[in-house]
Chains A and B, each alone.
Chain A
Amino acid sequence: QVQLQQSGPGLVKPSQTLLLTCVISGDSVSSNIATWNWIRQSPSRGLEWLGRTYYRSKWYHDYALSVTSRITISPDTAKNQFSLHLNSVTPEDTAVYFCARNSAFDIWGHGTMVTVSS
């Protein structure tokens, strides 16, 4: 069955870059029918979709306006994974971060609690 395995640090300093990775098993990041998303959850903001990457003969990316100037989601076909880069983090970026598949999010990673603090 399809599984998503997340990895990355739980603590990031303010102004630094948050980097999380989601390894896919049982599906392909280059699938022509799947999309690959990052979502975060915090008490103050609830569940918030951040962005996605997907392949339809070429790579596409969509990002939420709230983070578009700071976010990059990158596929890695060799490792069958995709990554979240979020620059210039502040304490407001403290949240649990999830990777998930498709638009009705049918498969989720386990979640990574990321705290932004010095």
Chain B
Amino acid sequence: DIVMTQSPDSLAVSLGERATINCKSSHSVFYSSNNENCLAWYQQKPGQPPRLLIYWASSREPGVPDRFSGSGSGTDFTLTISSLQAEDVAVYYCQQYFILPFTFGQGTKLEIK
């Protein structure tokens, strides 16, 4: 199985500041057939299912604010929130869909400093 490791486990950022979450996969998730990375990012708030934010490592899901961006390739990926808002407090997960079984990172808890 591909192991997804996120860092840090938790993060406290001031309102309006940048938040950066990292995700490393134990195997490359680059899909050469379409030159895309099979990597997604999710936001989960208490009592809710995860919400898809980013797919193909850097494509924003419709309706997701443009302060959320994804980057990276191969095995190393980053989710950036350019200017933290109060409603961004949540747990964030990365997930690979390159190969079965699909696997998730352990999550990063984002809080307000």
Contact = CB atoms under 8 A, between A and B. Distances in A.
Contact of B52 (A62, A64, A65, A106): A106
Contacts of B50: 47, 105, 108
Given A98-B49, A110-B49, A111-B49, A104 B55 contact: yes
Interface residues of B, number: 21
Contacts of B107: 46-47
Q: Is the interface of B mostly helix, strand, loop or mixed?
A: loop
Interface residues of A, number: 18
A49 interface: yes
B100 A62 contact: yes
Interface string B30-52: 00000000101010000011111
A46 B101 contact: no
A37 to B, nearest CB: 8
A103 B49 contact: no
A46 B104 CA distance: 8
Give 10 closest A-B pairs by Cβ, nearest first: A108-B49, A104-B55, A103-B97, A47-B104, A104-B40, A49-B102, A64-B101, A106-B52, A49-B101, A111-B49
Interface of A: 37, 46-49, 62, 64-65, 98, 100, 103-106, 108-111
14 contacts: A46-B104, A46-B106, A46-B107, A47-B104, A62-B100, A100-B49, A103-B102, A104-B38, A104-B40, A104-B56, A104-B97, A106-B55, A108-B51, A111-B49
Interface of B: 38, 40, 42, 48-52, 55-56, 61, 93, 95, 97, 100-104, 106-107
